[in-house]
Structures are given as structure tokens and as C-alpha cells.
Amino acid sequence: MFERYGTIAQGPLAQYVRSPLPAARRDAQQSGTGSKWKLSAFAQWMREQGRDFEALWAQVAHIVCKTLIAAQPMLQYQVLWREAAWQEGVLSS
């Protein structure tokens, strides 16, 4: 199965990348550098850039809520199906 979130160092382009992992590992140890930031470091960086992090976070929360509302019928169906299957002995705990 194709891994959607693999890095370039693990894929077919790895031979063309000079040193993909050492820099990434170094950056991971420092907050606010590299490609993976802590949320607090990102918030601080946005504030330093004069951006409104709270407004962005409110928009993210709004999108998450809309997504959960849209997914609620399927989630409810899955819960009810698993409960019924468990009671019939199809699934074990």
C-alpha cells in the first residue's frame, strides 16, 4: 500500500537528496525550526510576524466542528453497528 505521508528520503527520489535526515533530526530538537513545529512555537512566530494567531485558531476550530457535524451520521452508524455486532458475538472485546 502506498504510504501517503512518507518522506522523500524513503521514496524513489532519495538518491537525489544529499542529506535529508540529519538536518531534519537536528531541526526536530529545536522548537520553531524545520518542518515540524510545536503549536506554541508556531503561535509565537505568528505573533512576532504581526499575525492574529487566535483568529486563525478560531477558524481551525470552526472547520473541525463543521467536519465533525458532517461526519456525525457515519460515526453514529459505526458505533451502533459495532455495539450490535458485539452483542451478537461477532466482535469480541
> What's the confidence (pLDDT) of residue 64?
95
If DSSP codes are grouped into helix, strand and coil, which group holds residue 70?
helix
> What's the confidence (pLDDT) of residue 54?
95
* Per-residue pLDDT tens over the stretch 31-81: 666 778 889 999 999 999 999 999 999 999 999 999 999 999 898 888 888
Residue for grid cell 520553531:
32
| Dist CA 44 CA 38 (whole Å) | 10
| Dist CA 38 CA 30 (whole Å) | 10
First to last CA, the chain: 28
> What's the confidence (pLDDT) of residue 69?
93
Q: pTM score, two decimals? A: 0.51
CB 34 within 8 A of CB 28: yes
Comparison of pLDDT for 86 and 45, the residue scoring more? 45
> What's the confidence (pLDDT) of residue 52?
95
